[in-house]
Amino acid sequence: MTGIGFDLLATDGRARRGRVTTAHGTIETPAFMPVGTAATVKAMTTDAVASTGAEILLGNTYHLMLRPTAERVAQLGGLHRFMNWDKPILTDSGGFQVMSLSDLRTMSEEGVTFKSHLDGSRHHLTPERSIQIQHMLDSNITMCLDECTPFPATEAQAESSMRLSMRWARRSKDAFVERPGYGLFGIVQGSVYPEQRAESVAALTDIGFDGYAIGGLAVGEGQETMFRVLDFTEPLMVKDRPRYLMGVGRPSDLIGAVRRGVDMFDCVMPTRSGRTGQAFVRRGTINIRNARHAHDERPLDAECGCPACRSYSRGYLHHLFKADEMLGPMLLTWHNLHYYQDVMRTMRHAIADGNFEEVAGAMEASMNEGDIEATVDPIAKPGKPPKQGRPPKAGKDSAPPKADKDSAPPEAERVAEEKTDE
């Protein structure tokens, strides 16, 4: 096998059931990749991540090139050995993070020169250097260096950015070292403009890649616009290669994108939300910090088999967050990742069975129901009515969780937090 393999096993409408084959194992698609930016999925061991059903992780070129450096990772045996993960790894190119350092970088045709957000040291990232770094990391799926077009962008701005990315894609392909079980993905750009997306798809197809990512979305355009872009982009893409929607998203985003022919996803949403007290469940979301959960003996989600739901009550999880105990973020992160993998597994089975729309519609309807009714507090203070509460509105559980230090870093240290887990 040269590069990575992809077998399209079943389709149902535009939804696809497939399998990606790499040097470190297979990935059943549709697939969700937990984000392990700095060679770790926050609050999780790799064994715990694997137990959720995850078959591939995402690492971040920008962060790893700065600390501990790609050279150090290579010297310590590569990213798989370094982080004790023997399954596939995808690394992003670093372009999104560098582009987000608007006041710390300068860009040219050659590449990007930027200052490290850690110590102010200067670095030069070119398509060739990005590919070299990812090679040293031993990434199974390498991403081309691109410029993630900001939103909103004028048509002229989007066109200039997209064409630069296409030139960088050619250079990335030329720099990539082909070997069995390792592949390179191109990234479709073009903002919200159909003609530019079409031009980008055509350019990347002409170059030829092992897979194709859809970039420049999940940057503030909203779900409706994102789906509209997918509607006119996906039909143009080759059918025998995996499609990867970068940085997406919420469970409803995943369902809608699979419905539109996407195979692979990544997002920090389940891990960051878990650290700040938000749990994704079959009936929407829960803010475990809310007082309505303090006396609740029920699990987060009665249908979930994760350790948080099997062994602990909502009341206990509420206590952990109120007491600032680290076990709380760990358990909610574990639950969220487990739930995301449940969603992907359910969609894979539905596509194979030919009833995707029925199953997807049922999941979406459940997510819109809102949380189960609150229970009565058995030890409410005398003279004070018990806090029964009301079921929150669909997809909500009262106020959003407060941000922790990891989810709200200083401005210069944000480095594209919307797509990386730090």
Our answer to whether residue 296 is catalytic in this structure is no
Half-sphere CA count of 66, side-chain side, radius 13 A? 21
158 Cβ contact list (under 8 Å, min separation 6): 149, 189, 190, 191, 192, 193, 196
Q: Is 94 annotated as a binding residue?
A: yes
Helix (H) or strand (E) holding 136: helix 127-137
Q: Is 267 annotated as a binding residue?
A: no
Distances (CA, A) of 92 to 15, 47, 109, 146, 348: 25, 23, 20, 10, 25
Nearest to 389 by CA among 278, 296, 277: 296
Q: Is 32 annotated as a binding residue?
A: no
Query: Could you count the other beta carbons within 10 Å of the beta carbon of residue 384?
Result: 8
Which of 92, 210, 296, 377 is catalytic? The answer is 92
CA dist., res. 287 & res. 324, Å (int): 15
Q: Is 306 annotated as a binding residue?
A: yes
Beta bridge pairs of residue 114: 105, 123
Query: Could you count the other beta carbons within 10 Å of the beta carbon of residue 151?
Result: 16
Q: Is 274 annotated as a binding residue?
A: no
Our answer to whether residue 406 is catalytic in this structure is no
Question: E strands within 288-385?
Answer: none
Asked if 143 contacts 93 with a C-beta cutoff of 8 angstroms, the reply is yes
Three-class DSSP category at 183: strand
Q: Is 160 annotated as a binding residue?
A: no
Asked if 237 contacts 212 with a C-beta cutoff of 8 angstroms, the reply is yes
Beta bridge pairs of residue 416: none
CA dist., res. 42 & res. 35, Å (int): 9
CA dist., res. 134 & res. 132, Å (int): 5
Q: Is 146 annotated as a binding residue?
A: yes
Which of 263, 266, 342, 371 is catalytic? The answer is 266
Written as six digits, the tokens of 53 are: 């059903």
Q: Is 407 annotated as a binding residue?
A: no
The label of the residue with tokens 């195979």 reads 263
Q: Is 119 annotated as a binding residue?
A: no
- Which one-letter DSSP state was computed for residue 374? P
Q: Is 96 annotated as a binding residue?
A: yes
Q: Is 189 annotated as a binding residue?
A: yes
Give the angle subtended at the CA of 179 by the CAs of 176 and 182, to the nearest 5°: 80
Binding site for substrate, residues?
A: 92-96, 146, 189, 216
Binding site, residues?
A: 92-96, 146, 189, 216, 304, 306, 309, 335
Q: Hey, which residues are catalytic here?
A: 92, 266
Binding site for Zn(2+), residues?
A: 304, 306, 309, 335
